[in-house]
Amino acid sequence: MQHLGQEVIVMESNRISRQLKDYLEYKHSLGFKLTHEATVLKRFAAYTRSINYDGPLTTEIVLKWVASGKQSDKTMGRKIEVIRPFSKYVYSFDHESEIIYSLIFKNVHERPTPYIYSQSDVRTLMDACQNLYSPDGIRSYTTNIIIGLLWSTGMRPSEPVNLLNEDVDFKNNILHIRKTKFSKERYIPIHKSVTEQLCFYHHWIEEKLGLKSSKDPFFYTTGGKKLTESSLAYAFKLIRPCINSKPTGYPYVRLYDFRHTFACNTILRWNEQGEDVNEKLHVLSTYLGHVKPADTFWYLSATPELLKASCSKYEEQFGGNDDEI
């Protein structure tokens, strides 16, 4: 940073900023969105420019950045976790840089235990949808259907919200998932009973709002507006107190817990049927839309100890992943 009287001149670009630009372009080309990670990395690059630093990526400059604000060790550790993969990328071609290790701060990414819904919980939540303020009935019916859909398919909460009419194949019992976390399209088979409920909903919406084209959204809310992730999350927030849940990880039950529940129930069913869970996890990984099978092992943290033991060989082979996927 240079001072000319009262004027402060900040570098517009530097070595780390250019490397970050290349890194983000590379990761995006592979299908990774990195929304949170990109924000953290850009703040780091902005810090290095603000102090007029144009040197390599080193542990020293990273520690200066994380220590520049008042924050807990846990927060600083999480920042370093974001920096680490970037540092490995940079080091592959810039050997003046250093790989940043995350062991400086311990226990920075403790994974909360997700809530596993019982069938009784799901019925109670679906019944509670009737109590939502819904003058035309659309909000309550839509929330009811989506809870059942998440329970029966393990979809990410954002995925049903983004469904179009053409994505629901009533004849073949298949959903086409387009907008995913990793921009990876997939087709998932659904049970005939689920298809029937979706069909009832679709015909009801057609009568309520008029005939919709194949490119129109499948799900709607009050007034015929397109359902959004935020409106779905708020509706769920209003009804979740109806179940006497006692989450051990997060402070409250979440829509995302339906995904964990589906994965755990599927694995438990395989285990009870005497299936080789280690082999079948590849099937579940594809169904859930995971980039690699190791990601699926994440869900085993919420299953009984017996199931964890049955999958120990899988963990040894593939390892785990701390990101919620």
Helix (H) or strand (E) holding 79: helix 73-91
Question: What are the tens digits of pLDDT across the range 144-192?
Answer: 999 999 999 999 999 999 999 999 999 999 999 986 665 678 899 999 9
Write down the residue that tokens 């869970």 correspond to. 277
**Domain check: are 59 and 151 in the same one?**
no
pLDDT of residue 7 exceeding 70, the answer is no
Q: Is residue 310 part of a domain?
A: yes
Assign 286 a pLDDT band (cuts: 50, 70, 90): confident
Q: Determine the Cα–Cα distance for residues 315 and 165; give it in Å rounded to an integer.
A: 39
Could you tell me the two tokens for 197?
């409920």
Per residue in 109-158, pLDDT tens?
A: 556 778 889 999 999 999 999 999 999 999 999 999 999 999 999 999 99
β-bridge partners, 238: none
Q: Write down the mean pLDDT value for the chain.
A: 82
Which of 48-52, 53-57, 299-303 is predicted least confidently? 299-303
pLDDT in tens, 54-65: 999 998 899 889
- Is residue 188 domain-resident? yes
Residue 293 has pLDDT above 50, yes or no: yes
Per-residue pLDDT at 30 exceeds 90: no
Distances (CA, A) of 72 to 11, 36, 219: 29, 19, 41
- The Cα-based distances of 127 to 132, 172, 184, 297 in angstroms read 10, 29, 34, 32
What's the CA gap between 44 and 49, in Å, rounded?
9
Question: Does one domain contain both 167 and 98?
Answer: no
State yes or no: pLDDT of 321 exceeds 60: no
Within-domain flag for 311? yes
What is the number of domains present in the chain? 3
**Do 270 and 233 lie in a common domain?**
no
Predicted confidence at residue 217, as pLDDT, reads: 95
Least confident of 136-150, 233-247, 287-301: 287-301
**Residue 110 within a domain:** no
Residue 62 phi, psi (nearest 5) = -65, -45
73-82, 121-130, 191-200: least confident range: 73-82
Domain range holding 265?
257-318
| Residue, of 101 and 104, whose pLDDT is higher | 101
